[in-house]
Amino acid sequence: MVLRAVAARLASSSLCHHHVLQAALLAPTSTSPTAFLHSQATSFGYKQVREDEKSKLVGNVFSSVASSYDVMNDLMSGGLHRLWKDRLISKLNPFPGMKHLDVAGGTGDVAFRVVERIKSVSHRATQGTLTDLEEDTHIYVCDINPNMLDVGKKRAAEKGYNEEHCLSWVQGDAEALSFDDGSMDGYTIAFGIRNVTHIEKALSEAYRVLKKGGRFLCLELSHVDVPIFKDIYDVYSFSVIPAVGELVAGDRKSYQYLVESIRRFPKQIPLHEEPYGG
């Protein structure tokens, strides 16, 4: 099975020029997207590297930025990444009893939102009493980088979450997940899919672990098409973000890579187009 990918803009505001919520329709297609996606497999930013090197290089980047990752996201996006993630969760529409997998989400930013939304839904429905469905809820945070997971676990403790009950932290590879076939109601990946070595393998694994009718949602940075905004965005990306990374995180090179990885990621595709056959 392969996935047919389509891109949907988040909203009609100016944010649409910068970011896109990319959703994969879980249905077989007649033409494989491998050739389209695999072209990014050996890129590390603007550099070409061997496939067996990329995961190590990406791992070094996120090990370096783990402790300052969320602060840098606020600085780089002006805090807007929080709104984009809120919209992601709104589209996911979590429910009590849900089994959900958040991949490349080591700091817990998306997982915490899923838990909070489920608790909010359950509270309204039961006037605050714990239901069997809520007890069955389980959110798995999967990340290949142990440093990112350590940040998430620390944040979970600060928030008072009992990770033994509804949150599990799993070190794992998006391209080879340890979860059973058809075991998840939902799968999210935010700002992570461009960092995997073989995007088509990560998508195939997402399809495998999702239940029939399960939901796949991918939040990713996109290209800017409007000329004047593109020029401003390019200056901001290549001049401001690496400099801020050096100032705040003491690491210019890692943020240079993050900017370049956005540019190397395939451009968003309008909803009316069917690039992989229908």
Q: Give the pLDDT of the chain (278 residues) as one tens digit per residue.
A: 333 333 333 333 333 333 334 443 333 333 344 444 444 445 545 455 566 666 666 666 777 777 777 777 787 777 888 999 999 999 999 999 999 999 999 999 999 999 999 988 865 555 555 555 567 899 999 999 999 999 999 999 988 886 557 899 999 999 999 999 999 999 999 998 988 888 999 999 999 999 999 999 999 887 777 888 888 888 888 888 888 878 877 778 877 877 777 777 777 766 554 444 44
Q: The pTM is what?
A: 0.74
122 in Cβ contact with 96 (< 8 Å)? yes
CA atoms within 13 A on the CB side of 104: 23
Give pLDDT, residue 85.
95
Give pLDDT, residue 1.
36
Phi, psi dihedral angles at 213 (to 5 degrees): 85, 0
Report d(CA 176, CA 171) in Å as an integer: 11
- Name beta bridge partners: 221: 19
Give pLDDT, residue 70.
77
Give pLDDT, residue 146.
92
Report d(CA 115, CA 161) in Å as an integer: 9
Q: Which residue has the tokens 């909803």?
A: 271
Give pLDDT, residue 8.
33
Give pLDDT, residue 69.
78
Total Cβ atoms within 10 A of residue 100: 25
Give pLDDT, residue 122.
64
Structure-token pair, residue 278: 């229908």
Give pLDDT, residue 68.
78
DSSP string, 209-267: HEEEEEEEEEEEE----SHHHHHHHHHIIIIIHHHHHHHHHS-HHHHHHHHHHHHHSPP
Give pLDDT, residue 188.
98
Residues 6+ away with beta carbon under 8 Å from 142 = 101, 102, 103, 104, 105, 170, 171, 172, 174, 177
